[in-house]
Amino acid sequence: MNSRTVAALTVLFTLCACTERHASSRVKDDPFLTAPAHLSYNVKVLFTDSSYTKAILYAGEARLFEDRQMTTLGKSVKVDFYSRTGEQRAAQLTSDSAIVDDRTRNMTAIGNVRVHSDSSRSTLTTQRLIWTNATQRIRSDDPVRIVTPTEVIEGVGFESDQFLTSYRIFKVKGVHRP
């Protein structure tokens, strides 16, 4: 090898060795990075405590995201809440979809949310509702409408037990008694 070839190869290797390497960047919309760990259809989940059933959840679709510790429910969600004896349904929640925080087991129901209490014959409608597992209560910061056998109440912001037997509306907009 002549000296010019050696010098050219040395310069080439030096330039290659000195180039800065960039870490590979992830595409944030990569379907393999955002795909759920589990996907199920026609889901039915029973929530029990000792010997009685507390609730039964039905959903057309469930997606479990382990990295975010979150489960999304879609294609119509229905939750039947049962009385302390677990023998008869006390209330029913329906919505278009829901998100469950897998750490706390809190659920946010989204879209055409409806809660109907069998005992008080009251019905709540709103667009977004949060069910808190630790307290077994529901709340919403959105506009709500409650229809009871004796009145119709509309307002913004709401909190109640899951059976709609004891509730309060934060900003009442109107009450209609037929």
In a domain, 46, yes or no: yes
Q: What is the mean pLDDT of residues 108-135?
A: 89
Does the pLDDT value for residue 13 go beyond 60? Answer: no
Q: What is the mean pLDDT of residues 53-82?
A: 87
In a domain, 18, yes or no: no
Does the pLDDT value for residue 114 go beyond 90? Answer: yes
In a domain, 3, yes or no: no
Q: What is the pTM of this model?
A: 0.74
Q: Give the chain's domain count.
A: 1
In a domain, 21, yes or no: no
15-28 burial code (b ≥16 CB/10 A, e <16): eeeeeeeeeeeeee
pLDDT at 58: 92
Does the pLDDT value for residue 92 go beyond 60? Answer: yes
Residue 78 belongs to domain spanning: 30-176
pLDDT at 142: 92
Nearest alpha-carbon partner for 60 in 98, 6, 28, 17: 98
**15 band by pLDDT with thresholds 50, 70 and 90:** low
Report the CATH number at residue 67: 2.60.450.10
pLDDT at 30: 53
In a domain, 153, yes or no: yes
pLDDT at 139: 92
In a domain, 124, yes or no: yes
**2 band by pLDDT with thresholds 50, 70 and 90:** low
